[in-house]
Amino acid sequence: MERIIFLCVVSACLASVHTQTFLLNPKWSPIGYKEHDVQGGNTAMDEIIKTNENQASRILDGTTSLRDGDIAVSAGKRSKVCFARSCLWSKSVDGHVYIAYKLSPEYSELEKNQIVKGMENVERDTCVRFVPWTHQQDFIDIQPKSGCWSYLGSRGGRQTLSLQSPNCLQVGVISHELMHALGFVHEQSRIDRDNYVTIMWENIWRDRLRNFQKFKTDNLGLPYDYSSIMHFGMYAYSQDGQPTIIAKSSKDVKLGQTSILSQIDKMKINKLYQCGWCDDDDYYSK
Ligand SMILES: [Zn+2]
């Protein structure tokens, strides 16, 4: 009898372990989307795609939708297309660009600390400073809505930036969304991208072909950056596990970035906001 009870306890334990594994395993995906395990870690954009495709509706509300996977676009009077230089945050006389933010009270202290780490990532070696909102008219309202997304550049007034918990609270994802809020689009959206990467259209999930469009970007005179935190990973929106973007220089070039800003990302910020102490010569001589 004791033996039977022991076996029952063991099998109950195993069953509960199995159930937990199942519950914790985020393998569910929409039809047509094939997740790809990338050696050496996913890029920030891979994490965003995984979260947004599984959880965020492409239409956020009646008038706002997502473009290119994680850029919020509103219909109506504030729908002007905003690229680098056209929607800048204002600069202080002391040379810094102070961007006010509010954090939703729904975030725990740990989560708030994590978001601040993402901000520090963008502040490092740049003149951007994120400051808690006090009275500023323009500010970023960070909320755990559905998915990871941001508007492009400063829109004027309050603008939402969504960091769903816990999926969007990785430092790289937070930094990526803040870069959108600063005014940057995805690196492979650059008008000159076809000189540097090949888009493998036949491998892209059909419903997401539009996420690979090019824009008339202002590249600020900076080189194409394969390792930008704003670059899609090699398997972004792959429908069959095959690469969707390949570097022209070499198939071995890793695209995108997991958690840190690249050197050129920082230079982009410093050039766009004319930070004044960006030392290009130092970078190019490395
Ligand atoms: Zn993005």
Domain positions in the chain are 44-75+86-273
What digits encode the pLDDT tens for the residues 139-187? 999 999 999 999 999 999 999 999 999 999 999 999 999 999 999 999 9
Q: Which residues sit with Cβ closer than 5 angstroms to ligand 1, an ion?
A: 70
Number of H helices, E strands in the chain: 6, 9
The Cα angle at residue 268 between residues 163 and 259, in degrees rounded to 5: 40
Q: What is the 110 CA–ligand 1 centroid distance (Å)?
A: 24
DSSP alpha helices (H): ranges in the chain? 2-24, 44-55, 109-123, 171-182, 263-272, 280-284
Q: How far apart are the first and last CA of the chain?
A: 74
Is the pLDDT assigned to residue 246 strictly greater than 90?
yes
Residue with tokens 């914790």: 24
DSSP classification of residue 101: E
β-sheet bridge partners, residue 238: 204
The packing angle between helices 263-272 and 171-182, to 10°, is 30
* Ligand 1 midpoint to CA 1 (Å): 60
Span 52-70, pLDDT tens digits: 987 655 667 777 889 999 9
Query: How would you class 219 by CB atoms within 10 Å of its CB: exposed for 0-12, middle for 13-18, buried for 19 or more?
Result: middle
Q: Which CATH number fits domain 44-75+86-273: 3.40.390.10, 1.10.540.10, 3.20.20.140, 3.30.750.24?
A: 3.40.390.10
Residues taking part in catalysis: 177
